């Protein structure tokens, strides 16, 4: 058994084990962390397949950004697992039955008979000089330019939809816009009013309009 | 000598290389803390540490010994396993990123094609240590610090990533060594000039990514005590400290590499060819890195802490638009071969 | 590699919609509250231009563009045109409802237009990748539109259901696609068909993949037994959102089925034939029977949708060009009918009051006899009463089924549509023979809405009397 094969089995085992933990952990934060682990080891598997761009991007995007936000949300949630699990056993027999049927079907179809080395011979190794990131970029932006553009529209829609569904002015929120704060002028807050003196014994200084200039207008 | 080296098994070679990289790095981290206290001391017209050893030179070692002797206190009802794992998760990516770092033309541990992406991926993992530490401590201040830090790092990572996209367009490669050679020439052909806005964005985002002042709201001593590591003590705390400083060194070194020509000499090649000190070499990289490391300290001594919403505003509404526009500018410049950078 | 500008001319309608949507997105920022109507006008303008451009670039032989990701043929021309026209009606009907509820904001039009864009992409897709992306684009917009009324708990619940089940459906579809990719080594429909012809038909993996594809299609159509989401979402979503997702997306779903099953997997017709047969019979049966028991008109129309989907599947499963053409005819006609029916519901709603129950339609004739007549035409057409077009559509589908010697299936379909006629006619009875509920305010509509509804209703009648024009277009698409 070569070193690469050994690495493959190690990573594959960790991937499967951590995926199993994702669904069986009671604590949602632990589940998310196991999911992160599963992503990292799948990235390692991809790198073993010499798809280093995909592997690194998986870590960068999913582990580095998406899962962080996921973790963020899960930590804030107050999930009562007892309620979630109340009906668990109720659906268990049906669920198990369907799972077993599906798994059997998949095992029958996705076996070495249909997907073995005969049907899919291993591709010839390319030289190290081939930069597969560059190759990927070239085919994405020429052959698959149309799907790439559609994908970008989907992301735009996701932004619009998320903002529409969440952004709202809430009256109970005491948020003060910093730019409004900065732009406040003295005239907006303080007004100097010139009044005649209440007591007529005092003589008001005549024609003293210094305070008026530009202040009370 | 070289024959002896080649005779060693590959795994041993790699391990030795790792040791050669990591040991000096940790030493640098230790003396970086000393430098910080000294520099900030002088900026504030103080002397700084001067008791342990000559002019305080043994201070970092004394600190390390003290931290090692201290007890690691684990808060009740905390998630013990995660609590202890968090510091390790924090430091691992900070060290792992050095794997693809080219120290000179031929000394690099792993010369991979997608080096830049690898560095980005590794730095993006650092946030897990902070989040896990904050959550597992079972403390409100720690959780608040973790939340702040997570949002901040995710926000600035985008600006940072976009700035690096500009670099990779300019260099036409993701390999860090190729990025340096693409800047060959003189100080004027380094990327800091054509990518000036990206250079600024990268440097500032780097400060924000490492949670350093003036973006250190994740620690925010005056507001949330010490943020995510408020419950940590002893060696566990020390490792967070190490990770933070290792990250600062990493960002400085990467800035030196990607915007100021790495190991290249600032003078034109034909002037300095063959002259020992002025010619290209590792020492130039060191000088540049130290300069950026010094900037980190200077920032801390100079600027007051940003308010949290100002940080978010700066990241999302200022930096990201700047980088997107400048990526466009760079792309056009590259296509039309703007001299002197892309005339070839 | 040189880029051919002909690639761009073929997608001019899509580009128009994209530009309009982006324009609305930006213009909306600078609009004052009282000027929000500009969004509406811009969107309609964009749609009209797109319809015109579809006509201009349409016609001609089948050509593949964008390195096999996009196909331009008669099917895509006709379906694009009908999607755009139905969407025009939709936007016209939705306006006053939104205005009454302070929801006449740019995002409605942006999301609506992007949904239309997604449908256009699906219609002219030539690879599994493109069709999937188009589907997701459309679906994402629809999820958001269902939750558009942020203060409505029902809407949020419906959106959540729709999202989860939609994601499940997409997952099934993707799984099927991955199997077919595994068996044929390509995602382009033409090459898939070629690979199947070369490799033989008895491939286990292919059949396995088709099962998941059909499940995915069933989910998107809302066919029994994948129909669970339909009634809940029709009931919970705001009516304009239902109008959008109940009309044109059916045409897109038809395209999804035709592109994948006919363009790609025609050779395996014998495999998917039986699956569609089961879905069709169950849909017609359950849809028509359960609809009778509904008192909520939106739920009733939801079950009626399910039964119509059964009829569309009848045409598809015939596997002949004539069958596909009849299914296409049926789909387009159904989209028009659905637009009309939900349009009437929107017209009858007003501030603070939504038409929810059948009783709300009582005595519509006394309140506005013209709208009553239009609603009657729509209902007759849905029931399949001559001379409306619904009769024509059903007749064509049944003919296709009989031609492949499935007389029993035709009989089942006829029996179920007779059962179904009951609840459509009940609506007509409510409109014409019941007294209106007391204290109802006057119906307020604009001339534009009245004009659109008139065209919509009369179109159903005219197409029934003179079906040849649309029918010959449909038949020309499948030769």
> pLDDT tens for residues B310-322?
888 888 888 999 9
Chain A from 21 to 50: CB within 8 A of any C CB:
none
Taking the CA of residue A51 and the nearest CA in chain C, the distance in Å comes to 19
Nearest CA in chain B to A36: B128
Helix (H, G, I), strand (E, B) or coil at C350: strand
| The pLDDT value given to residue A207 | 55
Asked whether residue A210 carries a pLDDT value surpassing 70, the answer given is no
Short-list B143, B180, B22, CA closest to B92:
B22
Say if residues C448 and C338 touch (Cβ distance below 8 Å).
no
Contacts of C183 in chain A (CB under 8 A): 114
Q: Alpha carbon of B267 to those of B227, B252, B278: distances in Å?
A: 45, 21, 8
Chain B from 53 to 82: CB within 8 A of any A CB:
82
- Residues B224-247 as b or e (16 or more Cβ within 10 Å = b): bbbbbbbbbeebbbbbbbbbbbbb
Here the contacts of A166-175 (C-beta below 8 Å, separation 24 or greater) are: A168/C150
Q: What's the pLDDT band for A216 if we cut at 50, 70, 90?
A: very low
Chain A from 63 to 102: CB within 8 A of any B CB:
63-65, 68-69, 71-72, 75
Q: What's the pLDDT band for A200 if we cut at 50, 70, 90?
A: low
Q: Any idea which of A130-134, A159-163, C152-156, C247-251 has the lowest mean pLDDT?
A: A130-134
Tokens of A69: 């936000």
Query: Which chains touch C (3+ CB pairs under 8 A)?
Result: A
The most confident of A200-204, B218-222, C116-120, by mean pLDDT = C116-120
Contacts of B82 in chain A (CB under 8 A): 33
Span C430-453, average pLDDT: 82
Which of A109, A114, A142 has the CB atom closest to C1's CB atom?
A142
Contacts of A154 in chain C (CB under 8 A): 133, 136-137, 140
Q: How far apart are CA B255 and CA B252, in angstroms?
A: 5
- Quick check: A56 and B125 CB within 8 A? no
Nearest CA in chain A to C178: A110
Q: Any idea which of B71-85, B240-254, B321-335 has the lowest mean pLDDT?
A: B71-85
Contacts of A174 in chain B (CB under 8 A): none
Asked whether residue C63 carries a pLDDT value surpassing 60, the answer given is yes
Cis peptide before C160 (omega within 30 of 0): no
- Quick check: C137 and A153 CB within 8 A? yes
Contacts of C117 in chain A (CB under 8 A): 153
Nearest CA in chain A to B122: A60
Taking the CA of residue B264 and the nearest CA in chain A, the distance in Å comes to 25
Strands C63-65 and C70-72: antiparallel
Short-list B57, B69, B95, B101, CA closest to B282:
B101
Contacts of A131 in chain B (CB under 8 A): 113
Here the contacts of C116-120 (C-beta below 8 Å, separation 24 or greater) are: C116/C17, C116/C47, C116/C83, C116/C84, C116/C87, C116/C248, C117/A153, C117/C14, C117/C17, C117/C18, C117/C21, C118/C252, C119/C83, C119/C248, C119/C249, C119/C251, C119/C252, C119/C255, C120/C13, C120/C14, C120/C17, C120/C80, C120/C83, C120/C84
- Quick check: C130 and A165 CB within 8 A? no
Contacts of B124 in chain A (CB under 8 A): 59-60, 63-65
Taking the CA of residue A33 and the nearest CA in chain B, the distance in Å comes to 9
- Quick check: A168 and C179 CB within 8 A? no
pLDDT, tens digit (0-9, with 9 covering 90-100), for B182-198? 887 777 788 888 888 99
Query: E-strand spans in A82-207?
Result: none
Tell me the domain boundaries of chain C. Answer: 8-477
Tell me the domain boundaries of chain A. Answer: 1-86, 87-122, 129-169
Say if residues B218 and B152 touch (Cβ distance below 8 Å).
yes
Q: How far apart are CA C226 and CA C307, in angstroms?
A: 13
CA angle A130, A133, A135 (to 5 degrees): 60
Most A-contacting residue of B119, B121, B122, B124 (CB-CB within 10 A), to test interface: B121
Span C61-87, average pLDDT: 89
ipTM, 2 decimals? 0.91
Taking the CA of residue A186 and the nearest CA in chain B, the distance in Å comes to 23
Taking the CA of residue A116 and the nearest CA in chain C, the distance in Å comes to 11
Asked whether residue B138 carries a pLDDT value surpassing 50, the answer given is yes
A135 touches chain B (CB under 8 A): no
Nearest CA in chain A to B124: A64
Nearest CA in chain A to C24: A160
Contacts of B132 in chain A (CB under 8 A): 33
pLDDT, tens digit (0-9, with 9 covering 90-100), for B275-300? 777 777 788 888 889 999 999 899 98
Asked whether residue A204 carries a pLDDT value surpassing 70, the answer given is no
pLDDT, tens digit (0-9, with 9 covering 90-100), for B15-65? 888 888 888 888 898 889 899 989 999 999 988 888 888 888 888 888 888
Nearest CA in chain C to A155: C137
Most A-contacting residue of C26, C68, C69 (CB-CB within 10 A), to test interface: C69
Contacts of A36 in chain B (CB under 8 A): 128
Query: For the domain with range A1-86, which CATH number is right: 1.20.120.1200, 3.40.309.10, 2.40.50.140, 1.10.3720.10?
Result: 1.20.120.1200
Contacts of B153 in chain A (CB under 8 A): 68
Q: Any idea which of A21-35, C34-48, C256-270, C437-451 has the lowest mean pLDDT?
A: C437-451
Helix (H, G, I), strand (E, B) or coil at C440: coil
pLDDT, averaged across chain C: 89
Asked whether residue A215 carries a pLDDT value surpassing 70, the answer given is no
Q: How far apart are CA C455 and CA C450, in angstroms?
A: 9
**Taking the CB of residue C446, how many other CB atoms lie within 10 A of it?**
12
Q: How far apart are CA C299 and CA C293, in angstroms?
A: 10
pLDDT, tens digit (0-9, with 9 covering 90-100), for C147-194? 988 888 888 899 999 999 999 999 999 999 998 888 888 889 988 888
The share of chain C scoring above pLDDT 90, in percent, equals 49
Q: Any idea which of B176-180, C254-258, C351-355 has the lowest mean pLDDT?
A: C351-355
Residues of chain C in Cβ contact (below 8 Å) with chain A:
1, 18, 25, 66-67, 69-70, 105, 107, 110-111, 114, 117, 121, 127, 129-130, 133-134, 136-137, 140-141, 143-144, 147-148, 150, 179, 182-183, 203-205, 208
Query: Which chains touch B (3+ CB pairs under 8 A)?
Result: A
> A–B: how many Cβ contacts below 8 A?
65
Beta bridge partners of residue C188, listed in sequence order: C127
Most B-contacting residue of A54, A64, A182 (CB-CB within 10 A), to test interface: A64
Give C372's contacts (C-beta < 8 A, 6+ positions apart): C364, C365, C431, C432
Rg (CA), chain C: 21
- Model's pTM, two decimal places? 0.87
pLDDT, tens digit (0-9, with 9 covering 90-100), for C394-423? 999 999 999 988 899 999 999 999 998 999
Most A-contacting residue of B86, B111, B117 (CB-CB within 10 A), to test interface: B117
| The pLDDT value given to residue A217 | 39
Most B-contacting residue of A56, A66, A127, A136 (CB-CB within 10 A), to test interface: A56
Give me the residue label for tokens 């073929």: C10
């Amino acid at each position: 058994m070569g070193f690469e094969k050994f690495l493959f089995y190690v990573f594959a085992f960790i991937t499967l084990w951590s995926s199993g933990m994702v669904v069986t952990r009671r604590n949602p934060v632990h589940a998310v962390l196991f999911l992160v682990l599963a992503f990292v080891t799948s990235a390692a598997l991809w790198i073993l397949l010499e798809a280093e761009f995909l592997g690194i991007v998986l870590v960068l995007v999913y582990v580095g950004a998406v899962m962080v936000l996921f973790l963020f949300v899960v930590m804030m949630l107050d999930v009562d697992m007892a309620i979630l699990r109340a009906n668990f056993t109720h659906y268990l027999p049906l669920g198990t039955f369907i799972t077993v049927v599906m798994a059997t079907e998949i095992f029958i179809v996705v076996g070495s008979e249909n997907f073995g080395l005969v049907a899919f011979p291993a591709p010839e190794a390319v030289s190290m000089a081939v930069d597969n990131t560059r190759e990927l970029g070239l085919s994405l932006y020429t052959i698959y330019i149309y799907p790439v553009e559609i994908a970008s529209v989907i992301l735009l829609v996701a932004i619009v939809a998320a903002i529409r569904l969440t952004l709202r002015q809430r009256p109970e929120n005491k948020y003060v816009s910093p730019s409004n704060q900065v732009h406040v002028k003295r005239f907006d807050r303080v007004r100097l009013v010139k009044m005649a003196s209440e007591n007529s014994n005092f003589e008001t200084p005549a024609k003293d309009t210094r305070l008026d200039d530009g202040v009370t207008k | 000598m070289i024959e002896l080296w080649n005779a060693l098994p590959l795994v041993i070679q790699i391990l030795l290389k790792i040791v050669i990289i990591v040991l000096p790095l940790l030493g640098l981290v230790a003396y970086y803390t000393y430098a910080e206290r000294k520099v900030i001391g002088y900026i504030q017209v103080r002397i700084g540490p001067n008791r342990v050893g000559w002019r305080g030179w043994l201070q970092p070692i004394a600190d390390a010994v003290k931290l090692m002797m201290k007890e690691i206190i684990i808060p009740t009802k905390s998630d013990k396993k995660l609590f202890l794992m968090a510091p390790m998760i924090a430091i691992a990516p900070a060290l792992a990123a050095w794997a693809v770092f080219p120290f000179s033309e031929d000394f690099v541990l792993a010369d991979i094609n997608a080096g830049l992406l690898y560095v980005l991926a590794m730095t993006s993992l650092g946030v897990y240590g902070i989040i896990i530490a904050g959550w597992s401590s079972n403390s409100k201040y720690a959780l608040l610090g973790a939340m702040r830090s997570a949002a901040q790092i995710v926000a600035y990572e985008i600006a940072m990533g976009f700035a690096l996209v500009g670099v990779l367009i300019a260099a036409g490669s993701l390999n860090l060594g190729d990025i340096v050679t693409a800047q060959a020439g003189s100080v004027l052909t380094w990327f800091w000039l054509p990518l000036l806005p990206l250079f600024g964005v990268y440097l500032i985002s780097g400060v924000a990514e490492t949670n350093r002042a003036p973006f250190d709201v994740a620690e925010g001593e005056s507001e949330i005590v010490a943020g995510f590591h408020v419950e940590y003590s002893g060696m566990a705390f020390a490792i967070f400290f190490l990770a933070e400083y290792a990250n600062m060194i990493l960002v400085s070194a990467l800035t030196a590499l990607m915007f100021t020509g790495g190991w290249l000499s600032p003078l034109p090649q034909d002037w300095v060819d063959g002259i020992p000190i002025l010619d290209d070499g590792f020492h130039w990289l060191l000088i540049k890195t130290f300069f950026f490391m010094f900037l980190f300290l200077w920032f801390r001594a100079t600027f007051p802490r940003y308010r949290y919403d100002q940080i978010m505003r700066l990241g999302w509404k200022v930096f990201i638009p700047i980088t997107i526009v400048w990526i466009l500018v760079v792309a056009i410049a590259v296509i039309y071969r703007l001299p002197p950078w892309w005339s070839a | 590699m040189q880029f051919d500008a002909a690639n761009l001319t073929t997608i001019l309608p899509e580009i128009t919609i994209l530009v309009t949507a982006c324009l609305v997105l930006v213009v909306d920022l600078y609009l004052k509250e009282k000027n929000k109507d500009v969004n509406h006008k811009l969107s309609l303008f964009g749609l009209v231009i797109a319809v015109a451009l579809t006509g201009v670039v349409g016609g001609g032989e089948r050509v593949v563009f964008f390195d096999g990701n996009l196909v331009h043929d008669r099917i895509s021309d006709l379906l694009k045109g009908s999607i755009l026209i139905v969407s025009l009606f939709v936007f016209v009907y939705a306006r006053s409802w939104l205005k009454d509820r302070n929801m006449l904001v740019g995002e409605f039009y942006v999301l609506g237009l992007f949904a239309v864009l997604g449908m256009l992409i699906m219609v002219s897709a030539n690879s599994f990748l493109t069709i999937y992306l188009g589907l997701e684009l459309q679906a994402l917009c629809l999820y958001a539109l269902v939750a558009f009324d942020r203060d409505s708990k029902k809407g949020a619940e419906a959106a959540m259901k729709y999202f989860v089940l939609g994601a499940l459906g997409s997952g099934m579809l993707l799984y099927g696609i991955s199997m077919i990719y595994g068996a044929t080594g390509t995602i382009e429909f033409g090459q898939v068909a070629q690979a199947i012809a070369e490799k033989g038909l008895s491939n286990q993996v292919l059949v396995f993949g088709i099962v998941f594809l059909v499940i995915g299609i069933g989910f998107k159509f809302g066919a029994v037994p994948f129909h669970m989401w339909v009634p809940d979402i029709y009931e919970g979503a705001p009516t304009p959102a239902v109008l959008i997702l109940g009309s044109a997306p059916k045409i897109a779903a038809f395209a999804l089925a035709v592109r994948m099953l006919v363009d790609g997997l025609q050779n395996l017709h014998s495999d998917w034939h039986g699956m569609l047969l089961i879905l069709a019979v169950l849909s017609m049966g359950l849809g028509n029977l359960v609809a009778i028991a509904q008192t909520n008109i939106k739920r009733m129309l939801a079950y009626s949708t399910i039964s119509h989907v059964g009829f569309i599947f009848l045409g598809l499963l015939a596997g002949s060009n004539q069958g596909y053409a009849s299914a296409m005819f049926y789909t387009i006609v159904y989209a028009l009918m659905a637009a009309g029916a939900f349009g009437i519901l929107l017209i009858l709603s007003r501030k603070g009051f939504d038409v929810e129950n059948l009783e709300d339609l009582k005595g519509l004739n006394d309140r506005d006899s013209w709208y009553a007549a239009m609603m009657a035409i729509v209902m007759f057409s849905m029931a399949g009463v001559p001379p409306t077009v619904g009769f024509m559509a059903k007749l064509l589908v049944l003919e296709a089924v009989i031609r492949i010697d499935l007389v029993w299936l035709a009989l089942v379909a006829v029996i179920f549509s007779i059962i179904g006629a009951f609840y459509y006619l009940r609506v007509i009875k409510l409109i014409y023979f019941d007294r209106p509920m007391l204290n109802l305010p006057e119906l307020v509509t604009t001339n534009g809405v009245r004009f659109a509804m008139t065209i919509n209703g009369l179109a159903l009648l005219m197409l029934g009397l003179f079906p040849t024009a649309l029918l010959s277009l449909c038949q020309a698409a499948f030769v």
